[in-house]
Amino acid sequence: MKHDMSIEALLAQMTLAEKAGQMAQAEKNSVTPTDVRDYALGSVLSGGGGNPTPNTAGDWRSMTSAFNEAALESRLKIPLIYGADCVHGHNNVRGATVFPHQIGLGATRDPLLIERIGAATAREMLATGVHWNFGPCLAVPQDYRWGRTYEGFGGEPALVGQLGAAYIRGQQAEGAASCMKHFVGDGGAEYGKRPHLSWAQFWEQNGGMWSIDHGDVNVDEATFRAIHLAPYYDALRAGALTVMASFNSWRGLKMHAHRYLLTDVLKNEMGFTGFIVSDWMGISQLSPDYYTCVVQSINAGLDMVMVPYDFKGFINNLVRAVEHGDVPISRVDDAVRRILSVKQRLGLFDQPNPGAHLLDSVGGEDHRALAREAVQKSAVLLKNEGAALPLRRDIPCIRMAGSAADDIGLQCGGWTIEWQGKTGAITIGTTLRSALRNALPESITLDYQPDATFDHYKAPVGVVVIAEKPYAEGCGDVSDLTITAADLDLIQKTRAACERLVLVIYSGRPLIITEALPLCDAIVAAWLPGSQGDGLADVLLGEVPFEGKLPQDWIASMEQLPASVRISSGQAPLYPFGYGL
């Protein structure tokens, strides 16, 4: 450790204010490098869309370096840990490799692939001065109306645990920190139990229904442990260094105040030795009185608080809480000891700003080839009649419809460049249309009409690509997962213009496709494949076989949600967990 000082010796030299500073994490738009130095802040983060201008890997490194270097000018020169949501690659950086979202990775059933993706993401992060990834998500989604369904690897705890552990191994072998999230139960919140937030307007203004996200999980402890806690055991065995507390509550008590789960279960029973960070403004949900929020959350077991705007208010309130005897100094010392220990295990005391030599890896050929492989293995073939797939190379024309076929933003989904994602050419990559055009012989016409305005000639085959609009978190909470009337119209128009029809679906969750089913000869669940549409072209053309297996049941109707309802009713899903032709 730098300057030959142990953690205990460092702790002994720290003032109460410096300890509180280490426990604060500020968002980069609300803090300056000078603040990092003067308040001895422990962490800075880039939230979704927390990007420099221009948004390049080099500019990211310049931005993070300013904060990282400022920490070394503080009195005790304790290094910073810089965090970001790199949930499917270093997805905030324009030009970075964007991998399939976790639901797609769940369909691969390939732990070694997931481990390699974790490692590649870590290299792109470290290249830009980011040491800490807020992932993987270990949610086990029970209701696909939830806008974070795509952040989970699937609907079975064993699959989630296996793949989450693989991702963590890959990340941390490269020297970056993973964060298991969201502890715990985020995938089990009930639809329609709206969270009571004094600050709910913030979320409402972001266009969301927030009908599940932040909500309450109302199951007994045995069920809670078997479904929601189980994956964390695998992730802990893989050595996960940090945990993020969840916005949800369990039987009415918010996770950010849940001493039983954060301290008694996670730290004491499960033996977690890293540190727990709050989610974005998560402690603010505990009480209208911010002092009470600080006291309750720290006493419950939070070690670092993602403030993210008012770090000074947090520090002042925590100092006051210790001075008034409302938070024991032993609890603060435990938190800081855990934070310093993680920084030490990452080697940040010796090398506070590693990774400069990795800049060329951001969006590099090796990583894009890996993403292409992930897309190939994640696509699930749900239906294939009359040998509609693979697409033949001896036909004169392929008809193609749907704006999603040529839209990298729809291909990537939420958490891409911006928090909510965006349509259009938001980053660098290959769309399915361009990938097919590049791979097909010049003799084949690829007749692309986004709105399916084809002439009366019937082509041998048509490909329709439909997509959910990008969303993230509660802004993706919806009441109905039936494909839209506009998408159904697109399918019907293309069906009339071809002999065989292939439907490709970009979605963060299973959608209700019952009406479209008889119109399509082949159906491919492509999830949210990310920047490499060429991987999808590979399976459509038969260059590689379909391997993906459903990580969730694909439901037949909205009456089959949540999972417990479908299971207790005995209804069969349209396609079961593990299905894939």
Read off the pLDDT of each residue in 173-178 and give the average, rounded to a whole number: 98
491-507 confidence digits (pLDDT tens): 999 999 999 999 999 99
Domain assignment present for residue 575? The answer is no
Residue 61 CA to residue 129 CA, distance in Å, equals 5
Q: Tell whether 332 and 435 lie within a shared domain.
A: no
Identify the domain boundary among 328, 361, 394. 361
Domain assignment present for residue 105? The answer is yes
Q: Tell whether 321 and 429 lie within a shared domain.
A: no
519-542 confidence digits (pLDDT tens): 999 999 999 999 999 999 999 999
Q: Tell whether 451 and 503 lie within a shared domain.
A: yes
| Phi, psi of 502, deg, nearest 5 | -110, 125
**Six token digits for residue 204:** 């409402």
pLDDT reading at 209 higher than 80: no
What sections of 128-174 are H helices per DSSP? 157-173
Residue 339 CA to residue 37 CA, distance in Å, equals 17
Q: Tell whether 138 and 186 lie within a shared domain.
A: yes
Q: Tell whether 48 and 148 lie within a shared domain.
A: yes
Domain assignment present for residue 367? The answer is no
Whether residue 100 is preceded by a cis peptide bond, meaning omega within 30 degrees of 0, is no
Quick one: the chain helix, strand, coil %, rounded to 5?
A: 40, 15, 45
Residue 212 CA to residue 388 CA, distance in Å, equals 39
pLDDT reading at 309 higher than 70: yes
Output the pLDDT for position 2: 43
Domain count across the chain: 2
Domain assignment present for residue 411? The answer is yes
Domain assignment present for residue 103? The answer is yes
319-367 confidence digits (pLDDT tens): 999 999 999 999 999 999 999 999 999 999 999 999 999 999 999 999 9
CA atoms in the 13 A half-sphere facing the CB of 62 = 9
Q: Tell whether 266 and 403 lie within a shared domain.
A: no
Q: Tell whether 28 and 177 lie within a shared domain.
A: yes
Read off the pLDDT of each residue in 64-80 and give the average, rounded to a whole number: 97
Output the pLDDT for position 488: 98
Element (H, E) at 458: none
Contact 501, 520 (CB under 8 A): yes
Output the pLDDT for position 49: 85
Q: What percent of the chain has pLDDT over 90?
A: 95
CATH number of residue 333's parent domain? 3.20.20.300
Residue 319 CA to residue 70 CA, distance in Å, equals 23
128-173 confidence digits (pLDDT tens): 999 999 999 999 999 999 999 999 999 999 999 999 999 999 999 9
Q: Tell whether 335 and 398 lie within a shared domain.
A: no
Q: Are strands 249-250 and 253-254 parallel, antiparallel or unpaired?
A: antiparallel
**Six token digits for residue 58:** 């080099």
Output the pLDDT for position 193: 78
Output the pLDDT for position 192: 85
Tell which residue, 68, 61, 132, has the closest CA to residue 93.
61
pLDDT reading at 4 higher than 80: no
Contact 89, 99 (CB under 8 A): yes
> How high is the mean pLDDT of the chain?
95
Read off the pLDDT of each residue in 24-32 and give the average, rounded to a whole number: 97
Q: Tell whether 337 and 396 lie within a shared domain.
A: no
Output the pLDDT for position 197: 52
Residues near 554 by beta carbon (within 8 Å), at least 6 away in sequence: 382, 510, 525, 573, 574, 575, 576, 579
CATH number of residue 553's parent domain? 3.40.50.1700
Tell which residue, 314, 350, 352, has the closest CA to residue 332.
314
Lowest mean pLDDT, pick from 173-177, 201-205, 243-247: 201-205
Output the pLDDT for position 135: 97
pLDDT reading at 34 higher than 90: yes
Residue 84 CA to residue 81 CA, distance in Å, equals 10
Tell which residue, 308, 299, 286, 288, has the closest CA to residue 214.
286
Residues assigned a catalytic role: 279, 473
456-487 confidence digits (pLDDT tens): 889 999 999 999 999 999 999 999 999 999 99
Output the pLDDT for position 59: 97
Q: What percent of the chain has pLDDT over 70?
A: 96
Query: Which range marks the domain in which residue 471 is found?
Result: 379-569
**Six token digits for residue 335:** 């938190």
Assign 195 a pLDDT band (cuts: 50, 70, 90): low
How far is residue 252 CA from its own chain's centroid? Answer: 25
More confident call, 424 vs 50 = 424
Q: Tell whether 249 and 192 lie within a shared domain.
A: yes
Domain assignment present for residue 374? The answer is no
Read off the pLDDT of each residue in 406-416 and give the average, rounded to a whole number: 98
Q: Tell whether 316 and 414 lie within a shared domain.
A: no
Domain assignment present for residue 366? The answer is no
What does the DSSP assignment read for 260-308? IIIIIIIIIIS---SEEE--TTGGGGS-SSHHHHHHHHHHHT--BEE--
Contact 83, 27 (CB under 8 A): no
Contact 343, 175 (CB under 8 A): no
Domain assignment present for residue 320? The answer is yes
pLDDT reading at 1 higher than 90: no
Q: Tell whether 6 and 85 lie within a shared domain.
A: yes
Output the pLDDT for position 196: 54
Q: How many residues does the chain have?
A: 581
